[in-house]
Amino acid sequence: PRKIIIDTDPGQDDAVAILLALASPEELDVLGVTVVAGNVPLPLTQKNARIVCELAGKPDTKVFSGCNAPIARKLVTAEHVHGKTGLDGPVMPDPTMPLQDQHAVDFIIDTLRAETAGTVTLCPLGPLTNIATAFQRAPDIIVKVQEIVLMGGAYFQVGNITPAAEFNIYVDPEAAKITFASGVPIVVMPLDVTHKALTNRARVEAFRNLGNEAGRMVAEWTDFFERFDKEKYGSEGAPLHDPCVIAYLLKPDLFSGRHVNVEIETTSELTLGMTVADWWGVTDRTPNAMFMGDVDAEGFFALLTERIARL
């Protein structure tokens, strides 16, 4: 199986992504789950990550707590989307599995140093603070990363936290800039893709009817999460942003996009955190990321349902 580190700020959609990965041990070896502040502050995201690992029946998963604030800015959170706990919806028991003692950034650095070069994939599902901090502190690990597959950014389907910026990139644009300039091969799941991976009644009921706890939780998280998008965008359901990252690792053919240059805006007040993707190739800037644009939503939900059924 492919070795991955999931870097996350759960978040209902992060939670579904973690479930998808832990339900796929034949393809994915989750070396660790590193947690960052984002949707809600760090004490909640680290707790939520453990709740989700326990729900998956994998309490032996290593969960590491990381950075509690962006590199150069104050933390912006998203309780308006995810609720006060970050995992609002069903009432869930407090986790009993331990949090690892090591800091997430140290875990990322040590793991990449110990593993053979080109064998570990990083899967960031939140602000890129932990990843960029690791790269800054230990630049020698950069060449050892196989690939970064991340959820963040937008191009045609511009922002969800400001008119120009997507939440994960906006929260820590300096970290995003460091990551996109690192030279590591990057695959981006922007809002353009995730707003095509929308829940609807049939898809949510399929989760609820799986007959297991995980399916019921996914349905209840989605019920909560949908409220925001229905009101805000008038869409039928909610975008399952972060699971797109894990789905890509399992079935890359579900997605299509372009290998383009992506730069991160870090100074403009109006467009802070914008992912400036050269989709039409109008500059001679070197492509640094596979920027996805489309997803086979039916195939995506079929995969998700089939895997959640295994938990």
Show which residues are catalytic: 241
Q: What is residue 283's three-state secondary structure?
A: coil
Site for ligand BDR in 159-198 (CB under 6 A): 160, 166-168
Site for ligand BDR in 49-78 (CB under 6 A): 78
In one letter, which amino acid is 105?
V
Q: Nearest approach, Cβ of 242 to Ca ion (angstroms)?
A: 5
User: 285 Cβ partners below 8 Å, 6+ apart?
Assistant: 261, 263, 278
Which among ligand BDR, Ca ion, none contacts residue 166 (Cβ within 5 to 8 A by kind)?
ligand BDR
For residue 141, give Cα distances in angstroms to 69, 101, 133.
22, 21, 12
Separation of alpha carbons 257 and 259, rounded Å: 7
Separation of alpha carbons 47 and 202, rounded Å: 31
Which region, judged by CB under 6 A, interacts with ligand BDR, from 11-19, 48-56, 256-264, 272-280?
Answer: 11-19
Question: Edge-to-edge strands of the sheet including 289-295?
Answer: 63-65, 28-35, 2-8, 120-124, 145-151, 186-189, 289-295, 255-260
Q: Nearest approach, Cβ of 167 to ligand BDR (angstroms)?
A: 4
Site for ligand BDR in 34-53 (CB under 6 A): 39
**Adjacent-strand bridge partners of 35:** 8, 65
Q: Nearest approach, Cβ of 244 to Ca ion (angstroms)?
A: 11
Burial (Cβ within 10 Å: 0-12, 13-18, ≥19) of residue 69: middle
In one letter, which amino acid is 94?
D
Which region, judged by CB under 5 A, interacts with Ca ion, from 203-211, 240-248, 254-262, 290-298?
Answer: 240-248
Q: Per rule CB under 5 A, is residue 14 in the interface with Ca ion?
A: yes
Which among ligand BDR, Ca ion, none contacts residue 172 (Cβ within 5 to 8 A by kind)?
none
* Residue appearing with tokens 């479930």: 19
> How many residues touch Ca ion (CB under 5 A)?
6
| Of residues 38 and 215, the one with the C-beta less far from ligand BDR | 38
Site for ligand BDR in 217-246 (CB under 6 A): 241-242
Question: Using an 8 Å Cβ cutoff, are 288 and 264 in contact?
Answer: no
Which among ligand BDR, Ca ion, none contacts residue 32 (Cβ within 5 to 8 A by kind)?
none
Rg value, the chain, Cα: 18
In the complex, which residues of this chain contact Ca ion (CB under 5 A)?
Answer: 9, 11, 14, 125-126, 242
In the complex, which residues of this chain contact ligand BDR (CB under 6 A)?
Answer: 11, 13-14, 39, 78, 81, 125-126, 151, 160, 166-168, 241-242
